[in-house]
Chain A
Amino acid sequence: AQSVSQHNHHVILSEAASLELGCNYSYGGTVNLFWYVQYPGQHLQLLLKYFSGDPLVKGIKGFEAEFIKSKFSFNLRKPSVQWSDTAEYFCAVSPIGAAGNKLTFGGGTRVLVKP
């Protein structure tokens, strides 16, 4: 069975700092990759996704992620964070062809941006 690891459970940084959240997965086949974000008191929502093509994908609110197949990684980045980026971030994978398009999530990273 596949698994997803997010290296940092908590990240605290100041506004304008750069953010990088690590995500590694274990699965031998081809996967679709997702980053979801959960702002305080809000629904879990999609930040960005990778299905195929350019391994550098851009999402909403200035976020981007790079798929490195050889490293089984899909790290999330933002060059300059804002206080409104305070949220919990989840990486998820879905093996291509898996029944039901099931997602396996990482444990999440709580990000606190200090004003």
Chain B
Amino acid sequence: DGGITQSPKYLFRKEGQNVTLSCEQNLNHDAMYWYRQDPGQGLRLIYYSQIVNDFQKGDIAEGYSVSREKKESFPLTVTSAQKNPTAFYLCASSPGGARADTQYFGPGTRLTVL
């Protein structure tokens, strides 16, 4: 089955701890994205990567970090510097390249910081 997997589905952490959210895709897509979804605010872009070993900040990158060592993987670390980390996190991928294309989304991870 081709698609995007995110794990875990639910994650609980204590305040002050870093936590890493997993995102894997087997669609052979070049581009990958991380969004944060909050009620009434839609999705906001945290980081994106157009190609392996390269990534760019999105609109709300503060308190987050990413890596893109492999084409199929784009993990997101929520650091203790993120002031309001409790949210629903969505990973997406697209074929990439110069032409705009549809982004395909994973099932999401709901992070709760206690």
Contacts and interface: CB of A to CB of B under 8 A. Distances in A.
Interface of A: 1, 4, 6, 9, 32, 34, 36, 42-46, 49, 51, 90, 92, 94, 96, 99-108
B80 interface: no
Given A45-B105, A100-B31, A100-B56, A107 B42 contact: yes
A106 B42 contact: yes
19 contacts: A9-B40, A32-B100, A34-B102, A43-B105, A44-B43, A46-B102, A90-B42, A90-B43, A100-B48, A100-B56, A101-B31, A101-B94, A102-B48, A103-B33, A103-B45, A104-B45, A105-B35, A105-B43, A108-B42
Contacts of B102: 34, 46, 49
B103 interface: yes
Given A51-B100, A103-B33, 16 more contacts: A36-B105, A45-B105, A96-B100, A99-B50, A99-B56, A100-B48, A100-B50, A101-B31, A101-B94, A101-B101, A105-B35, A105-B43, A106-B42, A107-B40, A107-B42, A108-B40
A42 B83 CA distance: 28
B45 A102 contact: yes
Contacts of A90: 42-43
Interface string B72-114: 0000000000000000001000101000111111111000000
Interface in B35-68: 35, 40-45, 48, 50, 56, 58-59
B22 to A, nearest CB: 16
Nearest to B49: A100
Contacts of A32: 100
Contacts of A36: 105
Contacts of B106: 43
Nearest to B97: A101
Contacts of B35: 105
Contacts of A99: 50, 56
Contacts of B33: 102-103
B23 to A, nearest CB: 13
